[in-house]
Structure 1
Amino acid sequence: MRALARITTSRGGLARVLAVSYLSLAAAAVAPSTPWRYTAPPGCARAASSASSSQWKQRQARDWYGRAAKVASLKSRAAFKLIEMDSKYKLFKSGQTVIDLGYAPGSWSQVAVELVKPHGRVVGVDMIPAQPPKGVSTLQGDFRKEGVQKLLKDYLVEFPSAPDLGVPGGEGGSIISDRPSYIDTERADSADHGDGAANDGRLVDVILSDMWAPWARATGYPSRTLDNAYYRLMNVSGNNGRDHAGSMLLCNAALKFANDTLRAGGHFVCKFYQGNEEKVLEGKLKKLFTRVHREKPYSSRPDSKEMYFVAQSRKGAVILENIDDT
């Protein structure tokens, strides 16, 4: 699949080639009794004919990536964004430890767990309850809270190795529950073996952040619109300034976590909404990583203001505290 990144195509063509490649791989894994049907290319789908169809339903009906995600049994169309970025920047390889912040509904974790098989591991964190994808461990909680970050760090130290993801298992992944900290025990062991001291707590190879900030509860609306917690967590507010400020807070929180846990040479991907503060964040990334790219995947909706920073190869001798002081 990564070899397709070398193919020269028209704008958006590479994304569709990658999508078709992924769908072909997914189709090969489907039971022989299940027929494989090729979906129409972009622009060939009929719009909803019902006069009562909403604008959202019409857009979904025309969305090639949304239909392709359903065919491939992916959790959402967002999977193709990560597939594009990995094909371009080669973020993943077998045996890596990946943290997926804001993982729900799980499409990025689905892609990551396939790319780090058989000895890699993927851990997802989100406020929204969601069924873990097969082979993925998850933690439900607010990542911005110190207790949730501590539990995640404890889990990484307690379970430094991953199960063999190539071995068939259950339909879903595992859910991390609260447990006593093993940090002190691991530190005592590292004093004898030296592994923990050498890593200095940096056990992660790739950190993905597709988070956005939950907006404040509204009242006086029907239960399935603005008063519903799920809709507040899964959608942007529509206020560009608020969405930008919220994304910067989350990106900086994710970067602080990466500063503590990301290995030298590790990669960092975070979503942000465009605005005045993005240059400051980009400056920090350029000091902490060897290469920093701005990316707008072709599978991202054209009218969306979301973009991604892709930071590659963390510099081992640089820490965030020194950057903030300069």
Structure 2
Amino acid sequence: MSTRSLQIGLRFSRGIFCSYVGSSCWPLQTTIKRTKVTKASSKRWVQRQGSDMYAREAKEQGLRSRAAFKLLEIDQSHKIFKAGQTVIDLGFAPGSWTQVAVDHTRPNGRVLGIDILPAAPPKGAIAVQGDFMSPLVQAGIKEYLENPDEVEKRAVEGDQTKQQESGQESGSARTREKQSAPASAVDTVDVMLSDMLMNTSGNAFRDHATSMDLSNVALDFALDTLRPGGSFVCKFYAGGEDSLLERRLRSAFDRVKREKPAASRGESREQYFVATGKKKRRKVESVKGGGGRG
């Protein structure tokens, strides 16, 4: 494989596949609304990080954030990772969970990180910049999952200009095809991780509602792509609707546990659902608890 960054040949209206071997990429131009950070809040964050043993330990071990220890603790308890697995990490930036997944699926593992923010993934992983809530981005990910070697091969062939041109042309054609015949990508993933909504708004109800929306979309995608026996881990903010999500998980997996890892700050409302042993395809309760999906 080339030692430079590669574009993996699929370009959608809201997403780009990128494989980072070097340090650059051709990311989608995305407008991100940024929250104003005051000097006082920045100072408090720095002080808290400085007194945080997990943050210090992450820095010493070369981990991208303290969140790595949350996933390490979950894996220690539930043994979700094995060598050679295919892992999807939703909301991967800055990449600490992806680091853990790459390390724990060696040799021959395949780890794909997805985030709306441009971020170079850890060595050994592939990144997608795009909005996971977009059906077109999901269709592109499924295409990659169906034949990753072929998609990566297309990325390596040709020079950078040719890749960009072919990506724009064939990507639009594939987009039209996906709209009429969505990719199946059934039973291709071993572990699905969702750590979306990393930053909170300060409004407990809003954070809870947003985390439920993101978790349910992630679960829908997991049900389409996880192998029987596969695992699903998602972060959520506790509130009145998490019991509905838990019920959906219990209808689709053999074992479902709520976890609050030691590395999760005590004042935070974040928790994690760890669902293991995905059942063979069957009806799963909808978000509202009625009806189902195949």
The residue number in structure 1 matching 2:193 is 208
Matched, 1:254 2:218: yes
1:277 to 241, 263, 267: 241
Gapped runs of 5+ residues in structure 1?
Answer: 1-50, 164-176, 185-195, 213-233
Matched, 1:325 2:291: yes
Displacement of 1:132 in angstroms is 1.3
The residue number in structure 1 matching 2:122 is 133
**Which has the larger strand fraction?**
2
Q: Distance in 1 between matches of 2:224 and 2:100?
A: 25
User: Quick one: which amino acid aligns to residue 89 of structure 1?
Assistant: H
Matched, 1:60 2:58: no
1:217-274 per-residue CA deviation (whole Å, 9 max, x = no partner) reads xxxxxxxxxxxxxxxxx52100000000000000000000011101100000000001
Q: Distance in 1 between matches of 2:97 and 2:119?
A: 13
The residue number in structure 1 matching 2:106 is 117
Matched, 1:307 2:275: no
Contact 1:251 1:271 in 2 (8 A): yes
Displacement of 1:200 in angstroms is 6.6
Q: Distance in 1 between matches of 2:76 and 2:42?
A: 36
Q: Distance in 2 between matches of 1:128 and 1:209?
A: 15
Secondary structure of 1:88's match? helix
Q: Distance in 1 between matches of 2:103 and 2:291?
A: 40
For the pair shown, which has the larger CA radius of gyration, 1 or 2?
1
Contact 1:207 1:268 in 2 (8 A): yes
Displacement of 1:317 in angstroms is 3.5
The residue number in structure 2 matching 1:236 is 200
Q: Distance in 2 between matches of 1:112 and 1:65?
A: 19
Give the superposed CA RMSD.
2.6
- Count residues with an aligned counterpart: 228
Contact 2:102 2:110 in 1 (8 A): yes
Contact 1:102 1:126 in 2 (8 A): yes
User: Quick one: which amino acid aligns to residue 270 of structure 2?
Assistant: E
Displacement of 1:161 in angstroms is 9.1
Contact 2:236 2:272 in 1 (8 A): yes
Q: Distance in 2 between matches of 1:52 and 1:210?
A: 23
User: Quick one: which amino acid aligns to residue 251 of structure 1?
Assistant: S
Q: TM-score with structure 2 length normalisation?
A: 0.72
Q: TM-score with structure 1 length normalisation?
A: 0.65
- Structure 1 range deviating more: 53-62 or 84-93: 53-62
In structure 2, relative to structure 1, the CA distance for the partners of 1:147 and 1:321 (3 Å cut) is farther
In structure 2, relative to structure 1, the CA distance for the partners of 1:247 and 1:65 (3 Å cut) is same
Secondary structure of 2:71's match? helix
The residue number in structure 1 matching 2:137 is 148
1:263 to 222, 227, 230: 227
Contact 2:111 2:124 in 1 (8 A): yes
Contact 2:146 2:185 in 1 (8 A): no
